[in-house]
Amino acid sequence: MSCHCTRIHDRRRIVVTGGPGSGKTAILEFVRRAFCRHVNVLPEAASILFGGGFPRGIRTAELRAAQRAIFHVQSELEAWSDGGQAPAITLCDRGTLDGLAYWPGDPNELLLAMRTTVETELNRYAAVIHLRPPAATGGYNHENRLRTESAEEAALLDARIEAAWEAHPHRIVVESTHNFLDKVLRAVELLRVELPECCGESLKPFTSLTV
């Protein structure tokens, strides 16, 4: 969607997170097509790595190596978005603290390895929108070829992700709904109100929403 505003806006990052199958991909794809140029949607770091051939292992050392790599890629994606004509809003498909949910063992070990703290990472983001995944009987599936978790595993990861972000002062949880479109509309509205005022009308009418 076009936007005629030429102002330089304050830069803000917003995390969209949640357990596997929560609908992040569909919602962020809609945002990418419907919101104005002042909003930049970053790809998911894990998908870049695993989709590009980074090996997936089950040993502790392999899992930890993957999470360290994801952390670095996420940080550099955000640094890339901050460069040049930086957008007003950078939407992150997961954030740096998501790795705490996937780290085998004490999550603090990941923070030590990255030489950071929870407080430092929380301060990177203006808001966190947490999408709940559906239950096995509520629409959970494996349409994403990179998704390996069962519905039960997705629920456990979702709880760990929620714990990783629970200290953020502006965290909003969007529950799973029987009608996925209702969930999309709720999440998109939360994102829309984060836009600069001049961009508020840039969103396509919800009546034309298709996902």
* pTM for this prediction: 0.84
**CATH number where 108 lies:** 3.40.50.300
Q: Tokens 């596997």, residue? A: 20
Residues 111-133: tens digit of each pLDDT: 999 999 999 999 999 999 999 98
Output the pLDDT for position 137.
53
Q: Does residue 206 belong to any structural domain of this protein? A: no
Q: How far is CA 199 from CA 44, 54, 171, 189, 196, in A?
A: 25, 38, 22, 13, 5
Dist. CA 109–CA 99, nearest whole Å: 11
pLDDT band at 42 (very low <50, low <70, confident <90, very high): very high
Per-residue tokens: 54: 């980074």
Q: Is the pLDDT of residue 145 over 60?
A: no
Q: Is residue 164 part of a domain?
A: yes
Q: Could you tell me if residue 111 is inside a domain? A: yes
SS3 100: helix
User: pLDDT by residue (tens digit) across 60-95?
Assistant: 999 999 999 999 999 999 999 888 666 788 999 999
Residue 172 has a pLDDT of: 94
The verdict on residue 22 lying in a domain is: yes
Q: Does the residue 204 lie in any domain? A: no
Q: Is residue 170 part of a domain?
A: yes
- 6 within a domain of the structure (yes/no): no
The answer to whether residue 121 sits within a structural domain is yes
Total domain count, the chain:
1
Tell me how far apart the alpha carbons of residues 89 and 15 are, in angstroms, rounded to a whole number. Answer: 10
Does the pLDDT at position 9 exceed 60?
Answer: yes
Per the structure, the complete domain to which residue 58 belongs is given by 12-198
Q: What is the mean pLDDT of the chain?
A: 85
Task: Note the pLDDT of residue 10.
Answer: 75
User: Of 184 and 138, which is predicted with more confidence?
Assistant: 184
